[in-house]
Amino acid sequence: MEGFTRIIWKVGKEKLSRQLTSASRLFAECEYKTVIEGQRQACTEHMSLENMPRLLEKLNRDKLVFTPLRRSGYYQGFAHQHKEVKPGDPYYWFGCITRSVEDGQKFKEADLTGDHLTMGEMLGYPECCSKYFKENFSKNYDPVWLNNNEAPDGNPLANNLLRYFGIRIYSHLSCSPDCEATLKIADERVEIMKKLDSATTGWLLEYLASPMTWDSYHGVVEVDTPNFLGLTHTFPLDKQRVIKWR
């Protein structure tokens, strides 16, 4: 299925659409900060011809290294894989940001060999979640809490059901909605986010605490929230799967 992301608003579009943009930007800046501050060895980045001068200047200023991994065609919204680049089509470079050339080359080698555990370790992901990803991604490239269809009294720090739309605190696919290692990482990310933009961080936590339903069937997932219905493509299940976040 061709990649797509759609938001169908119920109420509050004018204000909340701006909040979504702010939350997405805050997440990206937090990812970058974790590498600068040494909380992890690497983060991933998309570098287009348009943002290349700005990003390279930023990397030079912060003494960081960008290592290109592969080219990808442009796609809309969320993607589970990179799009093939056809001759003449615009593209961006997908790569990693590290504090040293050696770390960048280490990540590149792990990427080339499909060593998800090494990449997960360098990205600061919990070992349990990296193993979960390795075991399940080849069978389902959107493995959202495969053994959990209910998340009663969910901690907003753990909620990644809205990551398709830029609303998230951590970047990995957690092994469960109550993974303690994920909650620890998310708590650290929130402290960074508060320093960057306390108001947006407060909104983000509040919205991730909202009741919502993740509903996947035949390659489409819809996430029903109090303000909008989010739609995107996903792994094509032949049986409907629903996760209720309370």
For 159-178, write each residue's pLDDT tens digit. Answer: 999 999 999 999 999 999 98
* 239/91: higher pLDDT: 239
- Those residues with Cβ within 8 angstroms of residue 33's Cβ, 6 or more apart along the chain or in another chain: 192, 196
pLDDT tens digits for 27-62?
A: 999 999 999 999 999 999 999 888 899 999 999 999
Chain position carrying tokens 């109550």: 178
- Separation CA 19–CA 7 (nearest Å): 14
CA dist 208 → 159, 171, 195 (Å): 6, 15, 19
- Residue-level pLDDT at 131: 97
- Separation CA 204–CA 27 (nearest Å): 10
Give me the mean pLDDT over the 92-99 stretch.
94
Of 10, 1, 2, 4, the C-alpha closest to 212 is 10
Give me the mean pLDDT over the 193-219 stretch.
95
Q: Are strands 150-151 and 228-233 parallel, antiparallel or unpaired?
A: unpaired
Residue 19 · residue 203 · CB < 8 Å: yes
Single-letter code of the amino acid located at 218: H
Of 216, 218, 221, 215, the C-alpha closest to 244 is 215
Task: Quote the pTM value.
Answer: 0.90
Single-letter code of the amino acid located at 242: V
Residue 130 · residue 222 · CB < 8 Å: no
DSSP secondary structure letter of residue 130: H
- Separation CA 110–CA 120 (nearest Å): 10
- Separation CA 139–CA 67 (nearest Å): 29
Instruction: Give the percent of the chain with pLDDT over 90.
Output: 78
- Residue 222, SS3 per DSSP: strand
